[in-house]
Amino acid sequence: MWRNIASNAFTFLLVGLFLLGGVILWGRAEYTGQGPLAEAICLQVERGSNMRRVSRNLEEKGAISSGAIFRMGSDYEEKTSQLKAGSFLVEPGTSMQDIVDIVTRGGASTCGTEVVYRIGVNRVSVQVRELDPATNRFVERAEFVVGEEDAPAAYTEKKAEPDTRFRIAMAEGVTSWQVVDALRNIDVLEGDVAEVPPEGALAPDSYEVRPGDVRGEILANMQEAQEILLTAAWQSRDEDLPIESPEELLILASIIEKETGVAEERGQVASVFVNRLNQGMRLQTDPTVIYGITKGQGVLGRGLRRSELRAATPWNTYVIEGLPPTPIANPGRASLMAAAQPEDTEFIFFVADGTGGHAFAETLAEHNENVARWRQIEAERGSEAAGNASTGGN
Does 388 fall in a domain?
no
Show which of 230, 264, 285 is a domain's final residue: 230
Does 206 fall in a domain?
yes
Q: Say which CATH number the domain at 41 has.
A: 3.30.1490.480
265 & 333 share domain:
yes
53 & 101 share domain:
yes
Does 4 fall in a domain?
no
Q: How many domains does the chain have?
A: 3
281 & 216 share domain:
no
Does 260 fall in a domain?
yes
Does 309 fall in a domain?
yes
Does 392 fall in a domain?
no
345 & 257 share domain:
yes
Query: In a structure prediction context, what are the per-residue pLDDT tens digits for the chain, which is 394 residues long?
Result: 444 444 455 455 445 544 555 556 666 777 888 888 888 877 878 778 888 988 888 888 888 888 888 888 888 888 888 888 777 888 888 888 888 888 888 666 677 788 999 999 999 999 998 877 777 787 888 888 988 888 888 889 888 887 788 999 999 999 999 999 999 999 999 999 989 999 999 999 999 898 999 999 999 999 999 999 999 999 999 999 999 999 999 999 999 999 988 889 999 999 999 999 999 999 999 999 999 999 989 888 888 888 888 888 999 999 999 999 999 999 999 999 999 999 999 999 888 888 888 988 989 999 988 888 888 887 877 655 444 333 233 3
372 & 249 share domain:
yes
What is the pLDDT, as a whole number, of residue 109? 67
What is the pLDDT, as a whole number, of residue 10? 47
Show which of 174, 201, 230 is a domain's final residue: 230
220 & 89 share domain:
no
315 & 266 share domain:
yes
pTM: predicted TM-score of the whole model, two decimal places: 0.77
94 & 169 share domain:
no
Show which of 109, 130, 155 is a domain's final residue: 109
190 & 139 share domain:
yes
220 & 278 share domain:
no
Does 132 fall in a domain?
yes
311 & 284 share domain:
yes
Does 41 fall in a domain?
yes
251 & 369 share domain:
yes
Domain span at residue 36 reads 31-109
What HEC string does the chain produce?
A: CHHHHHHHHHHHHHHHHHHHHHHHHHHHHHHHCCCCCCCCEEEEECCCCCHHHHHHHHHHCCCCCCHHHHHHHHHHCCCHHHCCCEEEEECCCCCHHHHHHHHHHCCCCCCCEEEEEEECCCCEEEEEEEEECCCCEEEEEEEEECCCCCCCHHHHHHHCCCCCEEEEEECCCCCHHHHHHHHHCCCCCECCCCCCCCCCCCCCCEEEECCCCEHHHHHHHHHHHHHHHHHHHHHCCCCCCCCCCHHHHHHHHHHHHHHCCCHHHHHHHHHHHHHHHHHCCCCCCHHHHHHHHHCCCCCCCCCCCHHHHHCCCCCCCCCCCCCCCCCCCCCCHHHHHHHHCCCCCCCCEEEECCCCCEEEECCHHHHHHHHHHHHHHHHHHHHHHHHHHHHHCC
